């Protein structure tokens, strides 16, 4: 069967949105300039801050979008201020790095109705901290230690925006990220879809406690709750857990009836591919390597990346059929 071809029906608007992603005035707006300096000088003891959180976030956003170093970011902002003839002072590169550690980044997200429950897609990807380039490792092998972080994302299936994110150490399992993402979301959730890594007892229990449907394929050798007779299995499956595993049991029974590929189509599991698309956009536009060294700074850098992707998404997305 030939693969179905999809045609973008809003190409003119989407093309304009792609162009505006690089528009400097979209990232360096008049609202940012108006709130550039810190106005509240009595919030705590000590010398008041000269630059607001928005000014620091703007500088770090420009650094991420245009892939600059800290020193290049300082020079870039200086040139913008000079061209636009704006009377503000510029934070130097060391201050940007210092303030990044404690910066609070709030994701830009579309508003939804309070009673509207959303469908969340979860996935995890790796971001390199340091290591050698791909060409060198292919030609000569690895000669020094590499280090990675894991970025856990929760994507809104309707708007394709990032609803929550969490950066963790490499040793944290993908399935463990679900509880971290849930704690960062404040919207009503109808269902969450993830790959087989989220097929864990504790995640089904979390779905029962938070009252949402967890859609994740059970492993190929999965057994029904009543079929688990081992001592360790009985210890894991408490009465509360058995209630939570009713959904998983229904998945296993249905897969046995119609086979796994048909079950995925029937339940709408392939909607999860939008999470992989979001990962692809993030790495294509912003890269796959964190530039900062300290873990606290890396978490803020990842948050800046997620906010950049959300703002680009809000500019316009393709509508295809």
Segment 58-97, tens digit of pLDDT: 999 999 999 999 999 999 999 999 998 988 899 999 999 9
Residue 253, token pair as written in the block: 């029974």
Check whether residue 58 and residue 183 sit in a common domain: no
What is the torsional sign of CA 309, 310, 312, 316? positive
Check whether residue 48 and residue 129 sit in a common domain: no
* Burial degree of 261 (CB within 10 A; 0-12, 13-18, 19+): exposed
Structural domains in the chain (count): 2
DSSP letters, 57-94, are HHHHHHHHHTT--HHHHHHHHHHHHHHHT-------HH
Query: Running DSSP on this structure, what letter comes out for residue 230?
Result: S
Q: Could you say which of 77, 104, 131 is where a domain stops?
A: 104
Check whether residue 92 and residue 190 sit in a common domain: no
Could you tell me if residue 287 is inside a domain?
no
Check whether residue 153 and residue 252 sit in a common domain: yes
Could you tell me if residue 135 is inside a domain?
yes
Check whether residue 125 and residue 249 sit in a common domain: yes
Check whether residue 37 and residue 178 sit in a common domain: no
Radius of gyration (C-alpha) of the chain in whole angstroms: 23
> How confident is the model over 303-313, as pLDDT tens digits?
999 999 999 99
> How confident is the model over 36-60, as pLDDT tens digits?
988 765 556 667 788 999 999 999 9
Question: In terms of residue numbers, what domain contains 71?
Answer: 22-104
pLDDT above 70 (res 4): no
Q: Which residue has the higher pLDDT, 239 or 208?
A: 208
pLDDT above 90 (res 126): yes
Check whether residue 175 and residue 78 sit in a common domain: no
> How confident is the model over 201-221, as pLDDT tens digits?
899 999 998 989 999 999 988
pLDDT above 60 (res 1): no
Check whether residue 92 and residue 239 sit in a common domain: no
C-alpha pair distances (Å), 160 with each of 106, 168, 264: 17, 22, 21
The pLDDT value given to residue 157:
93
The pLDDT value given to residue 187:
84
Q: How confident is the model at residue 152 (pLDDT cuts 50, 70, 90)?
A: very high
Task: Characterize the bridge pairing of strands 189-193 and 213-215.
Answer: parallel
The pLDDT value given to residue 231:
44
Check whether residue 51 and residue 124 sit in a common domain: no
Q: Could you say which of 62, 79, 104 is where a domain stops?
A: 104
Cβ pair 100, 93 in contact under 8 A: no
Could you tell me if residue 246 is inside a domain?
yes
Could you tell me if residue 133 is inside a domain?
yes
Check whether residue 159 and residue 200 sit in a common domain: yes
Cβ pair 188, 117 in contact under 8 A: yes
DSSP letters, 16-44, are HHHHHTT-HHHHS-HHHHHT-B-----SS
Q: Which residue has the higher pLDDT, 286 or 114?
A: 286
Residues 6+ apart with CB under 8 A from 307: 61, 105, 106, 107, 108
Could you tell me if residue 3 is inside a domain?
no
Could you tell me if residue 242 is inside a domain?
yes
Q: Which residue has the higher pLDDT, 193 or 142?
A: 193
CATH of the domain at 256: 3.30.420
Check whether residue 60 and residue 175 sit in a common domain: no
pLDDT above 70 (res 180): yes
Could you tell me if residue 288 is inside a domain?
no
pLDDT above 80 (res 283): yes
Check whether residue 94 and residue 130 sit in a common domain: no
Q: Could you say which of 276, 291, 314 is where a domain stops?
A: 276
**Cα–Cα distance measured from residue 249 to residue 272, given in angstroms and rounded to the nearest whole number:** 21
Could you tell me if residue 261 is inside a domain?
yes
Helix (H) or strand (E) holding 306: helix 295-315
């Amino acid at each position: 069967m030939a693969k179905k071809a999809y045609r973008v029906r809003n190409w003119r608007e989407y093309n304009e949105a792609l162009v505006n992603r690089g528009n400097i005035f979209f990232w360096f707006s008049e609202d940012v300039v108006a709130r550039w300096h810190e106005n509240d000088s009595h919030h705590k003891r000590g010398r008041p801050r000269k630059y607001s959180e928005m000014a620091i976030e703007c500088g770090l956003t420009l650094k991420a979008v245009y892939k600059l170093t800290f020193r290049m970011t300082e020079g870039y902002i200086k040139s913008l201020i000079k061209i636009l003839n704006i009377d503000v002072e510029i934070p130097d590169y060391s201050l940007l790095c210092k303030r990044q550690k404690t910066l609070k980044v709030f994701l830009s997200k579309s508003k939804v109705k309070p009673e509207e429950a959303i469908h969340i897609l979860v996935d995890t990807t790796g971001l390199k901290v340091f290591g050698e380039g791909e060409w060198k490792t292919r030609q000569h092998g690895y000669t020094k230690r590499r280090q990675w972080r894991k970025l856990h994302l929760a994507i809104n299936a309707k708007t394709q925006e990032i609803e929550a994110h969490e950066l963790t150490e490499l040793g944290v399992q993908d399935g463990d990220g679900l509880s971290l993402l849930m704690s960062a979301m404040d919207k009503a959730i109808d269902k969450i879809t993830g790959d087989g890594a989220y097929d864990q007892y504790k995640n089904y229990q979390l779905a029962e406690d938070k009252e949402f449907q967890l859609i994740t394929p059970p492993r190929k050798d999965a057994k029904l709750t009543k079929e688990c007779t081992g001592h360790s299995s009985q210890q894991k499956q408490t009465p509360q857990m058995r209630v939570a595993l009713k959904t998983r049991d229904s998945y296993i029974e249905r897969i046995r009836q119609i086979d796994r590929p048909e079950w995925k189509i029937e339940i709408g599991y392939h909607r999860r591919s939008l999470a992989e698309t979001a990962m692809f956009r993030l790495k294509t536009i912003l890269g796959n390597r964190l530039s900062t060294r300290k873990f606290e700074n890396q978490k803020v850098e990842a948050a800046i990346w997620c906010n950049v992707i959300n703002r680009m998404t809000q500019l316009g997305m393709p509508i295809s059929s």
